[in-house]
Structure 1
Amino acid sequence: MASRGAWKLVHLVLLFAGCGFGYDVVYRRIFAGLGLTVTGEAELYQNFSSVRCASLCSIRLSCFSWAWEPSSWECKVYTSLSSTSARTTAPASTLTYGIIDGYFFENFPSPVAMSWAEAKSACESRGAFLAMPASQEQTKLLMQWVGYNYAWVGIWRYSAAATWFDVFDNAVAGLYWAPAEPEDPYEWGSYRVPSGGLVTTPTTQRTYIPLCKALP
């Protein structure tokens, strides 16, 4: 199960004098010891420290992951992740970090079929809730992190209604639907990597993993 393990953290606090803004970002190391990194489009920089690499990612709204090679001080700042569960091979020494933000997956790595309601209960049993990141880039990062194609996410609606809600019954907008979605009359939200976005799903059991987020 990809859960709340003891990963190495980079807690980056950046304050820019005279600019009137700052960033407080927590990155977690992912793929440690696996010889993998994320898959996507990256800006490449040479002779950068890991802190400088993290700083560049933090000031790009589309960046949720960066990688640093300590042997060469090569920095990759990922500006767009691919819609895939495939990861890219990398030297074992490469350090890859991502913005995980308390998200984790239940029912993994050996998923069993469950409904959306059962997925919601699975998250709650861990003191968390069935969630949906506001950014599709972060969702793509999370799916690459576990290398799986299908996840239950925390949105639902009344049959064929236009308004979608989170698990706390708050209306949500800005949803990143896959092409031809949302499809009526299905009521439950899932994220499917092959479809490239959110998909409406019947209330049947499926081998999807619940995307949970720890409560504050």
Structure 2
Amino acid sequence: METRSACSLVLILLAGQSIGYEVTYRRIFQGLGLTVTGNADLYQNLSLVRCASLCSIRPSCFSWAWEPSSWACMVYTSLSSTATRTPAPASTHTYGDVVGYFFENFPNPVAISWAEAKGACESSGAFLAMPASEEQAKLLMQWIGYNYAWVGIWRYSAALTWYDVYDNVVDNLYWAPAEPEDPYQWGSYRVPSGGLVTTPTTQRTYLPLCKSLP
């Protein structure tokens, strides 16, 4: 996945990407007539550029949508922990902060282990990633429309310390209730569980969540 540098002004690019105030958004649900689910503030009579600007200056904004026929802007300040995507007019422009992340083996997932998921990302010049926040994880799962993903965290058996794929310590993880479960070592994100889940080292039909190298 290609990356682009951010600039100080909000721009709407023909390639379908919006860049604004050090925040880069990628268009999602293009041509699907769908949008994300969650809590959103509605603003009327805004242009696409003004809608992008409004989201970019709000630290709590994870996604935004603009409808050209009504000039209605939806700024999503929180997202639902579900893969359900709500219908929207086909002309709606929906964007999210998902730059650099992508799912390997989409749209036909196969049963693979955590180590195989790591290798699948690396074969694409990326790495098995850990979403920066739970809201970002929800957005990514809504974008893909799938409930299960391998993510880039692991530990030694039932140890308390978790690491990323580069063996760096990972803190502030957003576990599902009753997780992490001992003695499982590998991390996944499951929408039905509402957060990160520990998983045994067996093959699962999960999508590897990859992130492009800088």
TM-score under structure 2 length normalisation: 0.92
- Contact preservation (8 Å) 1:62, 1:80: yes
Q: In 1, distance between residues paired with 2:171 and 2:101?
A: 20
SS in 2 for 1:194: helix
Number of residue equivalences: 204
Query: Deviations along 1:136-193, whole A, 9 cap, x unmatched?
Result: 1011000000100000000000010001000000001010000000000000000000
Which residues of 2 match residues 52-91 of structure 1 at below 5 A?
52-91=50-89
Shift of 1:65: 0.5
Aligned-partner Cα distance in 2 for 1:137–1:71: 29
Against the structure 1 CA distance between its residues 30 and 54, is the aligned structure 2 distance closer, same or farther, given a 3 Å change threshold? same
CA offsets 1:1-50 (integer angstroms, 9 cap, x no match): xx66995111113xxxxxxxxxx111111111111011111000101122
Amino acid at match of 2:111: A
Distance 1:102 1:86, change over 3 A: same
TM-score (norm 1): 0.91
Residue correspondence of structure 1 range 157-172 to structure 2 within 5 A: 157-172=155-170
Note the residue ranges of structure 1 that are not aligned, 5 or more in a row: 14-23
Partner of 1:11: 19
Contact kept in structure 2, 1:103 and 1:213, CA below 8 Å: yes
How do residues 21-170 of structure 1 correspond to structure 2 at under 5 angstroms? 24-170=22-168
Measured in 2, the distance between the counterparts of 1:195 and 1:90 equals 27
Q: Which residue does the alignment assign to 1:182?
A: 180
Question: For the Cα contact (< 8 Å) 1:57–1:66, is it kept in 2?
Answer: yes
Could you say if the C-alpha distance between residues 4 and 34 of structure 1 is closer, same or farther in structure 2, counting changes exceeding 3 Å?
Answer: farther
Match of 2:9 in 1: none
2:193 aligned counterpart, secondary structure: coil
Deviations 1:89-125 (A, max 9, x none): 0000100001112100012211110000000000000
CA contact (8 A) 1:4 1:104 kept: no
- How far residue 59 of structure 1 moved from its aligned partner, in angstroms, is 2.5
